[in-house]
Amino acid sequence: MVAIVDNDKCTGCETCVSECPASAIAMENDKAKVDKDMCVDCQTCVDVCPSEAIHME
């Protein structure tokens, strides 16, 4: 599984970027972008995203 960002819901708050223990999330065009090769499937970003823009797939 890997974290997927719904760009329509992402507000660009960067909470997921600072909370990701694998540093797998960066901002691109003011939206979160997950590096699928670095993601460790911990779901931390899903839990901390205030706009519920991230899910595991």
pLDDT tens digit sequence for 5-43: 999 999 999 999 999 999 999 999 999 999 999 999 999
Determine the pLDDT at residue 57.
95
CATH code assigned at 36: 3.30.70.20
Cβ burial of 50 (10 Å; 0-12, 13-18, 19+) is exposed
What's the whole-model pTM score?
Answer: 0.93
DSSP 29: T
Q: Considering its fold, how many domains does the chain have in total?
A: 1
Pick from 30, 32, 34, 11: nearest CA to 22 = 34
Q: How far apart are the C-alpha atoms of 43 and 47, rounded to whole Å?
A: 6
What is the domain extent for residue 38? 3-56
Give me the pLDDT at residue 21, please: 98
